[in-house]
Chain A
């Protein structure tokens, strides 16, 4: 391995060095600072005689006398089943004082694209126990469903609740059957605060979830550039567990906004032509290489389901980060500041939320026969109620018709009874749909145009509407 002392320029997270032998693109570099510290980096651009290197741990302490070593291979993640239960830093080194990791394999972290021909279409319902998700925006195995949130909202609690409660109902029934694939959680933290990290770790430890988890921690005060590799390490581990060890893996990545900031930082340091709001023009491709590493493969037992979390700067969904994410992921769960201030937990606004894979994961044999119709009708009725709220602010309740008033009551009760459940309660899908019917029974039968008539006969509670009327 050749060692160079030829650094010509240091700028932000980048180091430029002269070389006299060819160096491969994406190769890993070790830089030893004069005080003996070793930092790792990656080749961003290579040409005859000059390479630019992005340093993961920050460039402080590097001077022109630092020595540069090229390892001769691209960044690999040592993977083994023993990673379960371990806590690693953002570059994949253990920080939990546990034993050394003896890898079974070392896998390239860039990961190759899954051949679309080899994918299996995801349609297995995952019960998260959260009505706003199960009932209205159902998650299925192999889906990538991000949580769009804002600063100061309890998105982490929601993510933890999902990680804690997620089951596939059929499998819960024949529990104890060893043939079943096991469930694992991979948690990739990028630039979150120590406090947030503690919240996650405490919950993992308290519920015993840590044993079936692998945690990658890049905290807010860790180098920003390291964040660009953290999700790739996490997903490489996930692919190994899912497609070689048959685990059903749930990957939680938080916070993707910090990841994108790191991309922008590197782009700016390289003096690239920026795209929207200064983010690099290739951010779509870059994010796709992360999000698309979810899914199922024909003939494989395991699966990767992704729940990335991102905070929308000033709650703006058209900001490039949520925007590009929304174009890649299969829907989004939106955490809403207004509902949060009303005290609704989890404060999920179902109207702009969406799960694109829902239609194929619900219905008879999967969840319940009436699921699709009920969810459509709840959507329509809640949207109607929301509309009336604007109107009532202007004209007052008295000016509205009976039916309009019922829609208003419906919208209130929908938030207080259907969405509201707290972060501890685990509702099964039957429970969720039954609450749905309870609420729909407030409305007259003939406005339920999105539900099949037979289902109305079976589930509609005739007494409820009457009660409501007398209560008025």
Chain B
């Protein structure tokens, strides 16, 4: 949090009342959304309402023992994040305090109150290499040099967007290479502006960009059901709703691990402490499938678990998306996972009810829809102000109460996002993972991404997908009949369709997130498995037409091998499928 370094404290106010995380103060000279320090312990808070002489503050820390009469100081600046090298490979709380630094400073495993820390290390020095020279003209946002931030990512040092007006140019009067801390100037402009590696940005304000494009490239997730049936674009938005125990978090984590984004911002918003610990333990160990470096080298984690203060939970989503936008401005593709946006909405509801605002549906504030839309709208495929292309893909988990998708958070989210991956507790109970229901889910990006898949994977991509969808649709209709009369009462061709659909489910849609190979399936393999099943389908129906009974077709021993393709190493998969295809063809043709 940047306010640690602010010293221009304005006027003092006095606390008038305290109710949980909501505190009111009188005589405080502060603007809306300014950060303030509350009470003798200096608890961090934010101004959320001003009425006459009374200022209402939401406090990011526990307020036990705070009493009226204690002082309130304003920093005169809104809640901002520190941006610069050192953001990656770090784990923050909801207001960008690094959790490892907090552990040191508090000397305890428990989170104490009133301790603040800058978001990036101010002491550490980084090697800066200029990209521009003295005398070069720059505009706002322009990249002036590079810092190797982690093994995977070069951090681009930019002219802060607020240093110059839009369209204004300035000349670099000095620029140096060498080792600097984030606060030391590395360049100076003729306007007198000194540029250092660190910049600040208020979290509730979108960073400027030149233009927003229609996304055309997929975010390849390595999850067969997503890439194959419900793809998401780089710069797209998606929601994963599901009841508890249906695997939301596992799905979000798989995406964070394997999606082909340059940068991942993972927000644990009001979720379990042990889950965040698992991410903290796993990410430094797991290799990034693109570079082979540890995943942490491209990741920024924000952890505000369910028992951490509720106001910080409200702000963690903004902290995350602002960091994502900053890396987008460097020309990177950023994937942002928010687990879970329902907890964020509940934090809004909690604060709103303490403010005694008139509630909307189910007690949520009337501005819920607007806030959700605002957040997802900050995602997108952009031309940045320095002329690069970068994207922020936003994927939000939703935790609908009782798994009922008609509740306000799910419904308001659905109106905005274009991909919807519905998790299903029935599938989860059968241990069918990922438990994404193929009948309820959709992706509106399918058509605009087909071109990419067809030119990069296979011409048949979309036609084969349509075949799979048709089979799965037919299966769900047939299942209703089977529930009534049993499978054996169906005609042979329908029994065979059920058999093919079973392989689609077991060999293609199911994917084991815990298996070393199966957890990531490149699009080529995703396509190849489907091709293998299609081969079985075609050969089997030919055999059926030639008069072979359906039992015999089902009993050949080559087909169950299809289920083993997922766990076959990627470079052997093609050959393995060819082998199965040959066996199936041979065994089936022997029957007639």
Q: Contact residues of A with B, CB < 8 Å?
A: 22-27, 44-48, 73-74, 108, 110-122, 142-143, 243, 272-276, 281-282, 284-285, 288-289, 292-293, 295, 297-298, 300, 317-320, 323-324, 326-328, 330-332, 351-352, 354, 356-357, 359-360, 376, 379-380, 383, 390-391, 394-395, 399-401, 446, 449
> Could you tell me if B307 and A293 are in contact, using CB atoms closer than 8 angstroms?
yes
Q: B245, A354: Cβ atoms under 8 Å?
A: yes
Contacts of A328 in B (CB 8 A): 272, 306
Q: Which residue of A lies closest to B401 (CB)?
A: A323
A311 CB to nearest chain B CB (Å): 17
- At the interface, yes or no: B346 with Cβ under 8 Å from chain A? yes
Of A44, A275, A357, which contacts B349 at CB under 8 A? A275
State the CA gap A449–B274 with chains docked (Å).
31
Name B431's closest neighbour in chain A (CB-CB): A379
Judge whether B455 is part of the interface by a CB distance below 8 angstroms: no
In the assembled complex, the Cα of A116 lies from the Cα of B272 at a distance in Å of: 9
Known: A116-B277, A121-B274, A292-B306. 17 other contacts (CB 8 A): A22-B68, A45-B18, A110-B64, A111-B110, A112-B62, A113-B308, A114-B111, A116-B91, A116-B305, A273-B363, A274-B363, A276-B362, A285-B350, A297-B109, A318-B401, A328-B272, A352-B425
Task: Tell me which residues across on chain A come within 8 A of B274, comparing CB atoms.
Answer: 119, 121-122, 142-143, 295, 330, 357
Q: Are B346 and A284 in contact (CB under 8 A)?
A: yes
**Nearest CB of A to B504, in Å:** 15
B512-526 CB mask vs A (1 if < 8 Å, else 0) is: 001000000000000
Within 8 Å by CB of B103, from A118, A122, A142, lies A118
- Contact in complex: B244, A326 (CB < 8 Å): yes
Contact partners of A112 in chain B: CB under 8 A? 62, 110-113
Offer 17 A-B interface pairs, CB within 8 angstroms, sorted by A: A48-B17, A48-B68, A114-B273, A115-B103, A116-B268, A117-B100, A119-B274, A273-B363, A281-B350, A288-B306, A318-B402, A318-B403, A318-B404, A330-B272, A331-B245, A354-B245, A379-B430
* B48 contacts A by Cβ under 8 Å: no
The 4 closest A-B pairs by CB, nearest first: A318-B402, A47-B17, A288-B306, A118-B109
- Is B417 at the interface (CB under 8 A from chain A)? no
Any A CB within 8 A of the CB of B2: no
Considering the chains assembled together, what is the distance between the CA atoms of A140 and B416 in angstroms? 40
Inter-subunit contact B109/A285 (CB<8 Å): no
The chain A residue sitting closest to B14, CB to CB, is A48
Q: Provide the bound-state CA to CA distance between A357 and B430, in Å.
A: 18
Does B64 contact A380, Cβ atoms closer than 8 Å?
no
Distance in Å: Cβ of B72 to nearest Cβ of chain A: 13
Contact of A113 among B245, B307, B430 (CB under 8 A): B307
Give the complex CA separation of A395 and B399 in angstroms. Answer: 39
Q: Is the CB of A115 within 8 A of B68?
A: no
Inter-subunit contact A281/B349 (CB<8 Å)? yes
In the complex, the answer to whether B67 meets A446 with C-beta atoms within 8 Å is no
Whether B66 pairs with A449 at a CB distance below 8 angstroms is: no
Interface segment, B119-127, B379-387, B479-487, B535-543? B479-487
| B70 interfacial by beta-carbon distance below 8 Å | yes
Residues of B within 8 A of A273 (CB): 353, 356, 359, 363
Nearest-CB residue, chain B, relative to A109: B64
- A275 and B363 form a contact (CB under 8 A): yes
Bound Cα distance A394, B356 (Å): 55
Check if B488 sits within 8 Å of A401, measured CB to CB: yes
Residues A281 and B402 in contact in the complex (CB < 8 Å), given A22-B69, A118-B103, A298-B109: no
Bound together, the chains give a CA A289 to CA B109 distance in angstroms of 16
Query: How close is B53's CB to chain A, nearest CB, in angstroms?
Result: 13
Q: Which residues of B contact A (CB under 8 A)?
A: 15-20, 24, 62-70, 91, 99-100, 102-103, 106, 108-113, 243-245, 268, 270, 272-274, 276-278, 280-281, 303, 305-308, 310, 343, 346-347, 349-350, 353, 356, 359, 362-363, 399, 401-404, 425, 429-431, 483-486, 488, 506, 514, 560, 563
B401's contact among A23, A111, A320, by CB below 8 Å, is which? Answer: A320
CB of B401 within 8 A of CB of A113, answer no
Instruction: Please give, as numbers and ranges, the residues of chain A lying within 8 Å of B346 by CB-CB distance.
Output: 281, 284-285
- CA–CA, A281 to B359, complex, Å? 11
Q: In the bound complex, what is the Cα–Cα distance between A24 and B64 (angstroms)?
A: 7
Contacts of B404 in A (CB 8 A): 318
A117 and B99 contacting across the interface, CB-CB below 8 Å: yes
- B108 proximity list for chain A (CB < 8 A): 115
CB distance A292 to B272 under 8 Å? yes
How far is it, in angstroms, between the C-alpha of A127 and the C-alpha of B108 when the chains are bound? 31
- Please name all residues of chain A whose beta carbon is closer than 8 Å to the beta carbon of B245 when the two chains form the complex: 326, 331-332, 354, 356
Q: In the complex the two chains form, is B484's CB within 8 Å of A394's CB?
A: yes
Instruction: Provide the residues of chain A in CB contact with B243, threshold 8 Å.
Output: 326
Q: How far is the CB of A416 from chain B (nearest CB, A)?
A: 21
A354–B245 CA distance with the chains assembled, in angstroms? 7
Contact B483 A26 (CB under 8 A): no
Complex Cα distance A452/B108, Å?
44
Contact partners of B563 in chain A: CB under 8 A = 449
Residues B280 and A449 in contact, CB atoms below 8 Å apart? no
Of the candidates B18, B244, B280, B308, the one whose C-beta lies within 8 Å of that of A47 is B18
Query: In the complex, are the beta carbons of A25 and B65 less than 8 A apart?
Result: yes
In the complex, what's the smallest C-beta–C-beta distance from A300 to chain B, in angstroms?
A: 7
A45: chain B residues within 8 A (beta carbon): 17-19
> Is B63's CB under 8 angstroms from A25's CB?
yes
A317 to chain B, nearest CB (A): 8
Beta-carbon contact of A281 and B277 below 8 Å: no
Beyond A46-B17, A47-B18, A400-B486, whether A282 also contacts B310 by CB under 8 A is: yes
Say yes or no: A26 contacts B429, CB within 8 Å: no
**Which residues of B are found within 8 Å of A24, using beta-carbon distances?**
18, 64-67
CA distance A26 to B268 in the complex (A): 28
Give bound CA distance, A44 to B354, whole Å. 12
Q: Is the CB of B363 within 8 A of A281?
A: yes
Interface contact A114-B110, CB-CB below 8 Å: yes
Query: Does A115 lie within 8 Å of B307, measured CB to CB?
Result: no
The distance in angstroms between the C-alpha atoms of A24 and B67, with both chains bound, is 4
The chain B residue sitting closest to A112, CB to CB, is B110
A285: chain B residues at CB < 8 Å are: 270, 306-307, 310, 346-347, 350
* Interface-centre pick from B243, B273, B280, B303 (highest chain A CB count, 10 A): B273
User: What is the CA–CA distance of A277 and B91 in the complex, to the nearest angstrom?
Assistant: 37
User: With A113-B111, A318-B403 known to touch, is A446 a contact of B560 (CB < 8 Å)?
Assistant: yes
Which of B65, B272, B350, B485 has the most CB atoms of chain A within a 10 A radius of its CB? Answer: B272
B363 and A46 contacting across the interface, CB-CB below 8 Å: no
Contact A276 B244 (CB under 8 A): no
A116 to B90, CA, bound (A): 13
CA distance A20 to B503 in the complex (A): 75
* Closest beta carbon of chain B to A27's beta carbon, Å: 7
A108 touches B64 (CB 8 A): yes
Q: Contact check, A116 vs B273: say whether CB atoms are below 8 A apart.
A: yes
Of B111, B350, B401, which one neighbours A282 at CB under 8 angstroms?
B350
B400 to chain A, nearest CB (A): 9
**Which of A319, A327, A449 has a CB less than 8 Å from the CB of B244?**
A327
Q: Do B514 and A323 touch across chains, with their CB atoms under 8 A apart?
A: no
Given A25-B18, A116-B305, A47 contacting B273 (CB threshold 8 A)? no
Q: Is B62 within 8 A of A110, CB to CB? A: yes
Pairwise interchain contact A376-B431, C-beta atoms closer than 8 A? yes
A354: which B residues are within 8 A, CB to CB? 245
- Identity of the chain B residue whose Cβ is nearest the Cβ of A272 in the assembled complex: B353
- The reply to whether B65 and A26 contact each other, CB–CB distance below 8 Å, is yes
A352 to B245, CA, bound (A): 9
Residues of the A chain whose Cβ atoms lie less than 8 Å from the Cβ of B69:
22, 48
A22 to chain B, nearest CB (A): 4
What are the residues of chain A within 8 A of B273 when measuring CB–CB? 113-114, 116, 119, 292, 295
Determine if A25 and B66 form an interchain contact, defined as CB atoms under 8 angstroms apart: yes
Least Cβ–Cβ distance between B45 and chain A, in angstroms:
13
In whole angstroms, how far apart are the Cα atoms of A360 and B272 in the complex? Answer: 16
Assembly CA distance A46 to B563 (angstroms): 64
A289:B486 contact, CB within 8 angstroms: no
- Interchain CA distance A449-B505 in the complex, whole Å: 14
Q: A45-B19, A318-B404, A399-B488 are in contact. Are A73 and B65 (CB under 8 A)?
A: yes
Pairwise interchain contact B277-A391, C-beta atoms closer than 8 A: no
